[in-house]
């Protein structure tokens, strides 16, 4: 049986993951509106990743005999000054999520909940990838600067991203 403190914290994390999906969907819509379809595609793949994360937490609470309680999702921003501003926001957001995951790990350790600590290690590793992926686009956008050719090439590259669900655990 899952401890109440852990269940409540993971329920909050489900909301945070759903917010992340909503945020990235808003970013995708922004990119669609300025005709950067590749950037929009990258964000749509990110939406799917965040939904997988939320469902992993959802399933975990249920597997441990807890109850998932969903709460309202805050409205995300809808406008940015540039593609670089979007990805800088994305990078900062992923750093915030890393902090949330680390807080869950700290709670699991303090509650001596070894199963939850073990479960969370996948997310710890995932956040390294999430931050790295967002930062890589930030760095490429900085290199491209205000040259439209660089933005066009990056849009083509980001349009190639395909969401691949994680392999189901045995």
Q: Spell out the domain ranges in the chain.
A: 4-158
Question: What confidence score (pLDDT) does residue 166 get?
Answer: 83
The model's confidence at residue 165, banded by pLDDT at 50, 70 and 90, is: confident
Q: Is the pLDDT of residue 128 over 90?
A: yes
Question: What confidence score (pLDDT) does residue 167 get?
Answer: 78
**Class of the domain covering 4-158:** mainly alpha
User: Please, are residues 27 and 144 in contact by the beta-carbon 8 Å criterion?
Assistant: no
SS3 content of the chain, % helix, strand, coil (to 5): 75, 0, 25
Q: What's the chain's average pLDDT?
A: 96
Q: Which of 34-48, 54-68, 127-141, 143-157 shows the lowest mean pLDDT across its residues?
A: 143-157
Q: Is the pLDDT of residue 39 over 60?
A: yes
The model's confidence at residue 170, banded by pLDDT at 50, 70 and 90, is: low
């Amino acid at each position: 049986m899952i401890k109440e403190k852990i269940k409540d914290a993971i329920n909050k994390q489900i909301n945070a993951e759903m917010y992340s999906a909503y945020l990235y969907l808003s970013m995708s819509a922004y990119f669609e509106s300025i005709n950067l379809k590749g950037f929009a595609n990258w964000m749509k793949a990110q939406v799917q990743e965040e939904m997988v994360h939320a469902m992993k937490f959802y399933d975990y609470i249920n597997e441990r005999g807890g109850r998932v309680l969903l709460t309202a999702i805050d409205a995300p921003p809808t406008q940015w000054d540039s593609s670089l501003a979007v990805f800088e926001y994305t990078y900062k957001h992923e750093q915030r999520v890393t902090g949330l995951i680390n807080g869950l790990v700290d709670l699991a350790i303090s509650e001596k909940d070894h199963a939850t600590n073990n479960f969370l290690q996948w997310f710890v590793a995932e956040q390294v990838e999430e931050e790295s992926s967002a930062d890589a686009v930030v760095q490429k956008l900085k290199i491209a600067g205000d040259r439209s050719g660089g933005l066009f090439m990056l849009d083509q590259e980001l349009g190639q991203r395909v969401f691949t669900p994680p392999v189901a655990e045995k």
